Amino acid sequence: MKLTLAIRANKNIFISEINTKPNYRFMNLIKFTFRGNLLFWILNLVSLISVAKTEVINPVCEYHHNPIGIDVKVPRLSWQIQSEEKNVMQTAYEIRTALSVNDLSKMNRQLWNSGKVVSDQSVNIEYSGSAAESMQRIWWQVRIWDQDNKVSKWSEPAFWETGILNSEDWNAKWITLPDEPESKNSLPVQYYRNEFDVAKTVKSARLYITSRGLYQVYLNGDKVGDQLFTPGWTSYKNRIQYQTYDVTPLLGSKNTIAAKVGEGWYRGFIGWGGQRNYYGDKLALLAQLKIEYTDGTSETIVTDGNWKVSTGPIVKSDIYNGEDYDANLELKGWEKNGFNDAAWKKGNEMDLTTDDLVAPQGEPVRAVEELKAIEQITTPKGEMVFDMGQNMVGWARVKMQGKKGDQVQIKFAEVLDKEGNFYTENLRSARCTDTYIFAEDGTVVYEPSFTFHGFRFVQFIGLEKAPALEDVTGVVIHSDMPSTGSFSCSNELINQLQHNIRWGQKGNFLDVPTDCPQRDERLGWTGDAQAFSMTAGFNFEVAPFYTKWMKDVALDQLENGMIPNVIPDVLNGQGGATGWADVVAIIPWTVYKIYGDTRILEESYPAIQKWIGFMNERAGDDHLWTGDYHFGDWLAFATTSSDYPGATTEKDLIATAYFYYTTILAAKMAAILDRPDDQSKYEMLASQIKKAFDNEFVTPNGRLVSHTQTAYVLALSFGLMPDGLEKAAANYFADDVKKFGHLTTGFLGTPLLCHTLSAIGRDDLAYMLLNRTEYPSWLYPVTQGATTIWERWDGQKPDGTFQDVGMNSFNHYAYGAIGEWLYSHVAGIKLDENNPGYKHFFLAPNPGGELYFVDASFESMYGTIVSDWREEKGIFVYNVEVPANSTATVILPAAKLEEVEMDSALKSKAVQYNDDVKVDLGSGTYSFSYPYLHK
């Protein structure tokens, strides 16, 4: 049944076509109508109409909702369109901006008005008003015209606020604790404080603050903001982030601003061999508080030599090793007014620049959730251990009882050994221990400040009475990226795999993408990051996170174009590994595909060019990159089983393949960035590399000289096979998978393995690999109780023994890269590279592997995409959702056009497409069903 409503309002005619079939709201309305009175009827009708109207929602600036303290020169604005109508497209928009929310609607008070711009672009529109000044808030609103030229209401007002845009606007001085002894070991956390009065009425106050080391800041005893591990980790040699906080509500007439600064990445242990002081040996604080009064005047409080500094209860604090806290040294009330700091020293002003300070772009790290211990265990060795039920990253907040002088050690482990004892050998030299010394008898609640641990199990040493389960809280921290993806299906093991992939991401997205969160490493390994990036972009919104990190990739690049293996680089420039360094092109390309973001391409492009220059130089005239050291297909199956030589992929082949792939990406980017000369240059180079690859590594029969799954995966998915030999290579590849009956791939082959099998029409083999539960496979760790992705296929063996302790993390996300195939192939949410950012996409599910349902969704920049399929009693039912201002092409697998039930308006557009049915959709929700023969 269809109902067409024509309502005259605001001089526009709104025609809303409402499909009442799934509209329960309307059904209720009818029911109530007959029971209710006229007023009730009218109210309901009005609410129905307002739902049917097209609204602009979720206005964001640089991906953030009302960001403050940003320094992006030309901020980009995005919004979503919500409507209960179908086929909604934006045909034009108008943006208006003003310095106050009330001025938005006053033409003569507006800062900038775009006018009506004929465009269907609703994502990342560049602000083209005059450049903002430092510390300025700009309000904005947008309205759109739809396909029928109906104009929407203005969106809710939103704003962005700039931070300190010019170095001269920093009046604060860097200060530090004077006379600190030199030490090869961790030094105490530093405490800073300053009291000041506020005599007038405050209109607004902003705190701009950063540190060399990690800081936490307090105003009148309250912690300012909920951000953790500030100022974040960047290539400190080039840039340090500062944060901006709105502290208006925290100010009184008498005030104390106080901060503690720990060693963190700046000066603590980082890398190997006891390396400390990588960026410098002095911690320091820089803070500037700008107070604006209602009388129009303002005042600025800054760090300088009048601030007081001391050490306190945190006698040691280190990311790898944990925190030592001595309650006897507590400074009761240090962060509040009236504390006697006579014994504290005056801060030492340092002659350090503020030129390298930048505003953050990624989401801050926060305590995102809390877990309670699920079980207390006394191990065979008699250890007092608590199980958090989940391998997590953060720390334990514990309520514990002790006596004066008691020293309690809180230790962390990911797994128990085969006897069930607490196992920490895989943490290598990381001590991962928090120590608390009681100052008096009683109960305390303790949690550390500047360290994090990767753990599932918590051990207490030195505690007489075990805490209750609810007194051991796991504080889960990570970069607080909005969750964007969900995937669940009829196989519980695969659901647990998806859970593990998400937790692997949470645990390793801590301001930078890390390899692992527990041992003495936790570094931004570039290979791991690129391998996992597409999956990461399904689970969470990663554009801001990667935008920030890619800048450090470019900044840490060496003069000769080499990209260090870890970013931020703390390994003194070691780099240039194939498949690792290529992150410089792969992640920007990923962000472009998922968000349609071209700025990250522009910003990364010079570094990509330099990296290609480096490879070209290493390869020389023959275009084969041979002879250099690489990690290769890291941790492939063969590295754990030497009797499988057929699983080791030659590194020269991998290096030449990535040389080609990155060059192809550069050519595509050059086209997007409108650099036709570069485009032809890279296309030409790519064809030379391909020729060289084919001559060197491909036999005339299409067999690769490295006859391995990874070699075939790279050659086929990068498009390296000579024309006419793809089929032969595909057969060799499929035969190899069949011969082994399992995967043999490592970090480079695994992300593309199932994709490549699907692309050659072998979903049967891809599903066989997915469903396999014996080692090596994705589900083997699941059967062993894993709650995160393991670094190795066999981190813990079926007999409970462990892999090489030298490298055995239980929270490494790289193998979780299968997630992308689950979302895009199994569920069928597939982006269209030619219409990036899901402006157009495919809904193309691929049932198989005994699954009988899959429910998946993805929050795109345009809104929610849903792809839910189920197969029941020979009927395939497919429910989808396409957000407004985007379109999708549905491909119904193994369908006959005449048998498919769908909206009659769609049926005429649908076509038979080989064995499938294909139909183009505008926005809206749709359902399809048809008889289906189980594959």
Task: Give DSSP secondary structure letters for 747-761.
Answer: TTTHHHHHHHHHHTT
Smallest distance, ligand BGC to C-beta of residue 893, A: 36
Smallest distance, ligand BGC to C-beta of residue 888, A: 36
Contact between 516 and ligand BGC by CB under 6 A: the answer reads: yes
Binding residues for ligand BGC, rule CB under 6 A, total 10
Contact between 564 and ligand BGC by CB under 6 A: the answer reads: no
Closest to ligand BGC by CB, 212 or 519: 519
Closest to ligand BGC by CB, 142 or 319: 319
Angle at 529 between CA 527 and CA 534, to 5 degrees: 120
Three-state DSSP state, 25: helix
Smallest distance, ligand BGC to C-beta of residue 577, A: 7
Smallest distance, ligand BGC to C-beta of residue 821, A: 21
Closest to ligand BGC by CB, 436 or 525: 525
| H-helix segments, 189-326 | 264-267
Closest to ligand BGC by CB, 335 or 520: 520
The residues pairing with 263 across neighbouring beta strands, listed in sequence order, are none
Contact between 323 and ligand BGC by CB under 6 A: the answer reads: no
What is the distance between the alpha carbons of residues 477 and 214, in angstroms, rounded to a whole number?
Answer: 15
Closest to ligand BGC by CB, 331 or 516: 516
Smallest distance, ligand BGC to C-beta of residue 453, A: 17
Closest to ligand BGC by CB, 464 or 804: 804
Closest to ligand BGC by CB, 344 or 503: 503
What is the distance between the alpha carbons of residues 425 and 669, in angstroms, rounded to a whole number?
Answer: 45
What is the distance between the alpha carbons of residues 111 and 507, in angstroms, rounded to a whole number?
Answer: 43
Contact between 631 and ligand BGC by CB under 6 A: the answer reads: yes
How does strand 384-402 pair with strand 322-326?
Answer: unpaired
The residues pairing with 333 across neighbouring beta strands, listed in sequence order, are none
The residues pairing with 326 across neighbouring beta strands, listed in sequence order, are 437
Closest to 536 measured CA to CA, from 840, 750, 818, 811:
818
Give the binding range for ligand BGC (CB under 6 A) out of 168-176, 185-193, 520-528, 544-552: 520-528
Contact between 815 and ligand BGC by CB under 6 A: the answer reads: no
| H-helix segments, 223-367 | 264-267
Task: Please pick, among 650, 791, 820, 881, the residue that the annotation labels catalytic.
Answer: 791
What is the distance between the alpha carbons of residues 636 and 649, in angstroms, rounded to a whole number?
Answer: 9
Q: Give the number of other CB atoms < 10 A from CB of residue 912.
A: 13
Residue 342 tokens read as 């006579």
What is the distance between the alpha carbons of residues 7 and 532, in angstroms, rounded to a whole number?
Answer: 50
**Contacts for 679 with CB less than 8 Å, ≥ 6 apart:** 667, 670, 671
Smallest distance, ligand BGC to C-beta of residue 527, A: 5
Closest to ligand BGC by CB, 383 or 515: 515
| H-helix segments, 772-897 | 779-783, 819-821
Closest to 829 measured CA to CA, from 872, 762, 871, 879:
879
Cβ contact 929:907 at 8 Å: no
Contact between 633 and ligand BGC by CB under 6 A: the answer reads: no
The pair phi, psi for residue 105, each rounded to 5°, is -90, -5
Closest to ligand BGC by CB, 111 or 635: 635
Smallest distance, ligand BGC to C-beta of residue 506, A: 17
Active site residue 791: yes
The residues pairing with 78 across neighbouring beta strands, listed in sequence order, are 60
Three-state DSSP state, 369: strand
Smallest distance, ligand BGC to C-beta of residue 49, A: 56
**Contacts for 492 with CB less than 8 Å, ≥ 6 apart:** none
Residue 611 tokens read as 């990296």
Closest to 134 measured CA to CA, from 285, 298, 362:
298
Give the binding range for ligand BGC (CB under 6 A) out of 79-87, 119-127, 269-277, 514-522: 514-522
Closest to 169 measured CA to CA, from 259, 242, 67:
242
Contact between 527 and ligand BGC by CB under 6 A: the answer reads: yes
Contact between 634 and ligand BGC by CB under 6 A: the answer reads: yes
Smallest distance, ligand BGC to C-beta of residue 553, A: 15
Contact between 525 and ligand BGC by CB under 6 A: the answer reads: yes
Closest to ligand BGC by CB, 212 or 812: 812
Give the binding range for ligand BGC (CB under 6 A) out of 302-310, 521-529, 671-679, 913-921: 521-529
Residue 300 tokens read as 């600025």
What is the distance between the alpha carbons of residues 901 and 879, in angstroms, rounded to a whole number?
Answer: 12
Cβ contact 266:281 at 8 Å: no
Task: Please pick, among 521, 541, 650, 859, the residue that the annotation labels catalytic.
Answer: 521
Active site residue 820: no
The residues pairing with 404 across neighbouring beta strands, listed in sequence order, are none
Smallest distance, ligand BGC to C-beta of residue 563, A: 13
Contact between 793 and ligand BGC by CB under 6 A: the answer reads: no
What is the distance between the alpha carbons of residues 170 and 327, in angstroms, rounded to a whole number?
Answer: 36
Give the binding range for ligand BGC (CB under 6 A) out of 44-52, 243-251, 519-527, 700-708: 519-527
Q: Give the number of other CB atoms < 10 A from CB of residue 39.
A: 8
Cβ contact 562:573 at 8 Å: yes
Considering only residues 135 through 194, tell me which ones interact with ligand BGC, judged by CB under 6 A: none
Contact between 528 and ligand BGC by CB under 6 A: the answer reads: yes
Closest to ligand BGC by CB, 532 or 862: 532
**Contacts for 40 with CB less than 8 Å, ≥ 6 apart:** 32, 33
What is the distance between the alpha carbons of residues 519 and 791, in angstroms, rounded to a whole number?
Answer: 12
Considering only residues 48 through 77, tell me which ones interact with ligand BGC, judged by CB under 6 A: none
Q: What are the E-state strand segments in 277-313?
A: 284-293, 298-302, 308-311
How does strand 357-358 pair with strand 240-241?
Answer: parallel
Smallest distance, ligand BGC to C-beta of residue 810, A: 12
Three-state DSSP state, 514: coil
Contact between 521 and ligand BGC by CB under 6 A: the answer reads: yes
Contact between 582 and ligand BGC by CB under 6 A: the answer reads: no
Scan for tokens 């007081």, then name that residue: 308
Contact between 504 and ligand BGC by CB under 6 A: the answer reads: no
Considering only residues 681 through 700, tell me which ones interact with ligand BGC, judged by CB under 6 A: none
User: Quick one: three-class SS letters along 409-423?
Assistant: EEEEECEECCCCCEE
Determine which residue in the list 363, 383, 471, 515 makes contact with ligand BGC, applying CB under 6 A: 515
Closest to ligand BGC by CB, 509 or 926: 509
Give the binding range for ligand BGC (CB under 6 A) out of 397-405, 523-531, 824-832, 863-871: 523-531
Please give the biggest Cα pair distance in the chain.
87
Smallest distance, ligand BGC to C-beta of residue 525, A: 4
Considering only residues 89 through 108, tell me which ones interact with ligand BGC, judged by CB under 6 A: none
Contact between 544 and ligand BGC by CB under 6 A: the answer reads: no
Closest to ligand BGC by CB, 415 or 757: 415
Smallest distance, ligand BGC to C-beta of residue 564, A: 12
Contacts with ligand BGC by CB under 6 A lie at 515-516, 521, 525, 527-528, 631, 634, 807, 812
The set of catalytic residues is: 521, 791
